[in-house]
Amino acid sequence: GAVVSQHPSWVICKSGTSVKIECRSLDFQATTMFWYRQFPKQSLMLMATSNEGSKATYEQGVEKDKFLINHASLTLSTLTVTSAHPEDSSFYICSARPGQNTGELFFGEGSRLTVL
Amino acid sequence: ILNVEQSPQSLHVQEGDSTNFTCSFPSSNFYALHWYRWETAKSPEALFVMTLNGDEKKKGRISATLNTKEGYSYLYIKGSQPEDSATYLCAFIVTGNQFYFGTGTSLTVIP
């Protein structure tokens, strides 16, 4: 199956700093990638849809100035958590899929962010 | 936000037991339903992509059924093995890109 790689797996940062998370499709081109956040004991919540060469589409309630998404190539999308605060501490995971709309998602390994 | 519910939240079974989980979703605006297996420290991996009412899919000891009219899908595991221990997620898809995930069922198979 297709492979999606996410980096870093975990990161600890100080409050007020910015953190960048990378999501790469290793063996396919992804014009669209998805960023999810998961709080403990909750489901994966879609934050935004990353579109190659254009602006990301953010879900309601997700601050686009807080969570900057860049999808500059067909194999790389980045999520930058700007001026992170403890309430941003969470598990972030990306996904992408080659092919048609009913196709399965391929996920990265996820990134655990802890903001001190 | 659509409500996708999975039950039970967690369960422990003995090796060799068969088990099943439920995913409930709205019965309107159905596009597709996915099942994923998520092992600890790994990426979620797709088990089944289901699109038609009445679909039944099977992969080894794992199978799934779909009822879009009443809004549920069952996942069955026959003869559970320790390597089946994982969280099983279902995702309800309304349009091509709108995925709504359940909270998952955490399965532990005791040797």
Residue B29: predicted pLDDT? 87
Helix (H, G, I), strand (E, B) or coil at B111: coil
Residue A101: predicted pLDDT? 64
Q: What percent of chain B has pLDDT over 90?
A: 88
From A72's Cα to the closest Cα of chain B, the distance in A is: 20
Q: Can you tell me the distance from the alpha carbon of A110 to that of A79, in angstroms, rounded to the nearest whole number?
A: 12
**pLDDT level of residue B51 (50, 70, 90 thresholds):** very high
β-strands A90-96, A111-115 pairing: antiparallel
Which residues on chain A are in Cβ contact (under 8 Å) with B44? 93, 105, 107
Identify the weakest region by mean pLDDT among A51-55, A93-97, B85-89.
Answer: A51-55
> CB under 8 Å to A50, separation ≥6 — which residues?
A32, A33, A34, A35, A56, A69, A70, A71, A77
CB contact under 8 A, A49 and B97: yes
pLDDT digit string (tens) for A5-57?
A: 999 999 999 999 999 999 999 999 988 899 999 998 899 999 999 988 889 99
Identify the weakest region by mean pLDDT among A73-87, A94-108, B68-82.
Answer: A94-108
CA B61 remoteness from chain centre:
14
**pLDDT level of residue B74 (50, 70, 90 thresholds):** very high
